[in-house]
Each structure stands twice: as structure tokens, then as C-alpha cells.
A and B are shown apart, each in its own frame.
Chain A
């Protein structure tokens, strides 16, 4: 379960302070399927980064499975990123010199999973995203859609409960985007918590809950069928 309590993020830009996010109070339960929408600059990425422990809030409390992570050290945050959340980026963020296989394997190396188990999991994940035959390809040898599917497989590596995706389809054509969303729906069916940012109302309509941000604050938050 995710619980944000008066979370905000401010940037000091010389004389002025930019309020990028918040204050935001928000609860997301296990197994929810959430789409985050909002105009450019409304704070979507800022919120996702805080949720994914990639960034730390300026103020407020963040409870992740009832653990207050807002005050965690860098090392502890690294563990949370490694084990509890999988993050999918708009620009894929795969290691360019590593193969698809090695990219998916990386979070498991950091989790000190044994070689046998790693091999088993990587193969399984590549199968799920339908890229078993691309295991030894490097990112440059893959299409955008394939790269993002590898990134999704990587996000699943340590079997986290939560998958976060910041505009995962932003760099993809509509067909590849649909494939990614398809994957998300599968994961949702498997009981994962899914939160993704999009500009595409059509894609957002697949989610069960919609959160609309405006100027760093939650403007609308509703469930759809």
C-alpha cells in the first residue's frame, strides 16, 4: 500500500522557489490500476519519482507498506527500489552495452540472487514480454517497442508488488503502446499495483482509477469502470 501525506517537492532556483509538487495526500491500495494525467509541468514525473524512491520529497510523509521511507538513507532507498518497486521510463534507460538478457538480470545481481535462479527468472520474464528470441540483442538492435518491453521485464525482475511507469508509451507508436498496455493489464490481472503516467486519454481509459494533476496538486481523483 502506498500512502502520501502532504508530500511536496520544491526547487530552489536562486531567488525563487519553484513548487513542483504538492502538497499531495494520496492513498493507493495493493492491486490498483491507476493512470496519472495532467498537462505538461503539472508535476506528474515529480510525483512518480518520489513514489519510486528515485527522488526524495521536500516535505511530507511517504509510507510504503506502512514503512516511512521519506527519511531513508540512500542505501536503504536503493534497497526499496531494488525489491519493492519496478520503474519503467519514457526513454527506456537500458544499459546500451549490455544485452537484453543482461539488462533484465541487473536488478537481480543487486539483490544477490543466485545464478541459477537469475537464469530461470530472466528466461521466464523474456517469455512474458515475448522477446525470448532477442535475449542476446543489445538495445540498439531492438525497436522502441521491444526496448520498452525489455524495460518492463527488467522492472519485474525482483517480483515487486508495485510497477511505476512514467509515460511508458511516450516514445512509441500506437501499436507498440498498445502492446505495453496489454502487458500492464496482464500484470494487473496478476495482482500487481500499477501506476502509469500518460497524455493519452484513450490509454488512460484502460485504468481503473484516474488521477488528474494540475499545478502540482490533485485536481481530480476518481474510479471508472
Chain B
């Protein structure tokens, strides 16, 4: 049986060779559709990952907060009073809201950095050790971020952004251990920030900032208030509850109504993360639908070609059935043709998509990759495309093949 099956299949393929142009046109439709689906999915996915990553340049699911003005009266006090955060606010939060994980104040100073004659006015921020984790500030090899001992001993150490490093230190040299003057006071460089993509910020980008221990900053430059407090929930789902609590706890201490949401401003990046998540869910569904529609149009092309083919080959079908080909065999022949067209067209599409994805991943295009990410064809995408192709092939081939197999030989031979 297998031998006959094999002979049959080679015969079918032989038949198809006679219809080169027709098969070629149909296959290109399928190739195009397959390529669209894969590319759309691959790029959609990589774009999502890249956007998430770029988002986290500022930090993963952090909340940035600062004092603002009251809008409600409180215990006889009029609205419009300024609320300001202090260092003790930080310990207050730590003590009263145990769901908070990493936590750090931020005291921002505008300073002059210098080495010898080289000078630059720059943002300098005093922070806690946890700040590095909050803001994804990772040291390059050989360096470190501010640690608790730096804090305790009020060390004059400094963690610098990449741009600062490039400005003050030679390209090849390691700045760690070198001295950088801040308003004329010598600070030892303890680390240089690893490059990262950051698509949001509230000061300047981190690569242009220098960071020093909060205690050092307070001692050297004076800090009555903190500019901002940054925290991250131990568990991201608790973030809304924590924000609620903060208004209550700080309201009592700093003197504002707990319903006065505007007394403290908060920037919750988890909201953004969620937005991006849903945005891409919709975006990918849209791309997928577009790709699938393209494929379906290709499938309709296959169906059409099959109909035309069967009309053209009516006499051939008549001869075959007259000689004893069963309806099942005729059905099989045309289904197989449909699948072969799908398979070859689909394979070429996969190959094309793979080529484009590979080209896109080449180092020459790193600039674009930052935004769009590096597309990958993963197993899920491959399975989806294979399923859609198989279904389309089946749908496209079935009805014409059925018609062909149900013709009486005389009817088929009349033409």
C-alpha cells in the first residue's frame, strides 16, 4: 500500500509540474501571507519586550512621590498650604507601612563637577543604598553602588553616569578609585553606571547624573527637606493599597486630610506597565488578525486556483475515474495538491521571515533594535502559523476536491 501511495504522490507532483505558473502564483500568495503573520508576530513581540525593557530603564514598578499643596481644609487650616517631605518621612513610611520594599529619599543638588581645569555644572543626587535596585542603576565591572557603610560613615564616595564618566575620564581607563571634585570637595568614584535605555525620567537621564550617599549629601550640602521619595512594594499588587495608606499616615503627621490626594503627588509606573501590557495585547491581536487575514486571502486564492484547475482538468478527472480511480482517491489527490502548495508556500514564507528577522538582528541595526527590539521567531509563533496554514489548506482544498470526486465519469468526459 505504501509503495502505491508513494507512486501516487510522485504522480500528483508530476501533475503539478504541468501547472507551473498557476502553482507559482498561488504559492506566492501563501508565502506572502505566512511571512506577514510571522513577521507581524515576531516584531510585535520584540517591540513589546523592548518597550517593557525601556520602560524599566527608570525602574520596575516604582512609585515616585513628592510634596505638593493641599486642596482641602484640615483642622481649621485653610487649603493651599505647601507640604514638604523630610528625611524622617522616610523612616515613618518604613515603620508604618511594612508592605513597602526598597525605599529611598532623593535630595537633588545642582553642583559643579571638576577635575583640574575641566568643569561642568550638573545634577547630584543624595540617595539610600536601595536606590540602585529601585532605579536599575547597576555598576559596570569593577565598581559598586552606594552601600550601607557609605551611609553610616558619610563617606565622600560617588557613583557616576556614563556620560559623566566619558566627560571626565579617558575612554579606556577605569574611573573607579579616581577623585572627582564636587563643589571643590573631593569624592572617590566607586562605580560607573551600566548603559541602559531609559525612555522616561523626571530629572535628566541617569547617565547624566552623579549619585552620593544621602547622609553625605545632607552633611556636605545641607538638606532640610528631601525632594522626592521613591519606593517599590514588596509585592507589586499591593501598590494601590500602599498609596492609600501613605496618604493616611502622612496626612496625620504632615497635617492634611487623608482624602486630599493632591497634597502629595505620586507617579506610579505600575500604571504605565499595565497600560503598556494592555496596549500591546491589543496591538498584537491587531497584527495577528492582519496577518491571518492576509493568509486567508491567500487561502481563498488557493481555493480559487483549485476550482479553476479542476475545471481545466475535468477531462483528466474523467479519464482517471473511468479507469477506476475511486472518489476518495480523487479527493485525496486534490487535497494533497492543496496541501503541497500550502506547504511549499508556507515554507518559503517561513524562510523569508527568518531571513528578514536575521538581517534585522544584525549589529548594523542596533539603533533601530533599541526601539523595536530584536525580533525572534519562537515556537508559539511557529505553531500558530503552522495551524493556520493547515486549516487554510484544508478549507481551500476541501470543497473543490469534493466537487471533483463526485463527478460521474460520463459527465466529466463530456467536455
Contacts and interface: CB of A to CB of B under 8 A. Distances in A.
Contacts of A93: 315, 318-319, 322, 413
Interface string A82-98: 11000101000111010
Nearest to A82: B324
B324 A78 contact: yes
Contact of A81 (B11, B323, B328, B329): B323
Given A75-B326, A87-B322, A54 B3 contact: no
A200 B244 CA distance: 107
A111 B323 CA distance: 10
Interface stretch (A22-30, A102-110, A215-223): A102-110
Nearest to A53: B409
Interface in B225-281: none
Contacts of B410: 49, 54-55
Interface range on chain A (Cβ under 8 Å from partner): 20 to 34
Contacts of A106: 320, 323
Nearest to B1: A112
A188 B319 CA distance: 25
Interface in B1-22: 1, 3-4, 7-8, 11, 14-15, 18
B390 to A, nearest CB: 27
B166 interface: no
Contacts of A54: 322, 408-410, 413
Q: Which of B3, B328, B329, B408 has the most CB of A within 10 A?
A: B408
B325 interface: yes
A83 B1 CA distance: 18
Given A75-B326, A81-B324, A114 B3 contact: yes
A97 B18 contact: yes
Contacts of A81: 321-324, 409
A55 B408 contact: yes
B324 A112 contact: no
Given A49-B410, A54-B322, A78-B321, A110 B329 contact: yes
Nearest to B405: A74
B373 interface: no
A79 interface: yes
A100 to B, nearest CB: 14
Contacts of A79: 324, 326
Contacts of B329: 110
A44 interface: no
Interface in B315-346: 315-316, 318-329
Interface string A113-135: 01100000000000000000000
B406 interface: yes
Interface in B386-415: 406, 408-410, 413
Contacts of B3: 114-115
A78 B327 contact: yes
Contacts of A149: none
A140 B201 CA distance: 79
A109 B4 contact: yes
Contacts of B11: 109
A78 B408 contact: no
B323 A110 contact: yes
Contacts of B316: 95
Q: Which of A74, A83, A112, A114 has the most CB of B within 10 A?
A: A74
A147 interface: no
A95 B391 CA distance: 32
Interface of A: 49, 52, 54-56, 74-75, 78-79, 81-83, 87, 89, 93-95, 97, 106-107, 109-112, 114-115, 154, 158
Q: Top 9 closest A-B pairs, CB basis? A: A82-B324, A110-B324, A55-B410, A54-B409, A78-B326, A107-B323, A54-B410, A75-B326, A81-B324
24 contacts: A54-B409, A54-B413, A55-B410, A56-B408, A75-B327, A78-B324, A81-B321, A81-B323, A89-B413, A93-B315, A93-B318, A93-B319, A93-B322, A95-B316, A97-B15, A97-B18, A106-B320, A106-B323, A107-B324, A109-B11, A110-B320, A110-B329, A112-B4, A114-B3
Given A93-B318, A93-B319, 8 more contacts: A54-B409, A75-B326, A78-B324, A79-B324, A89-B413, A95-B320, A107-B324, A158-B324
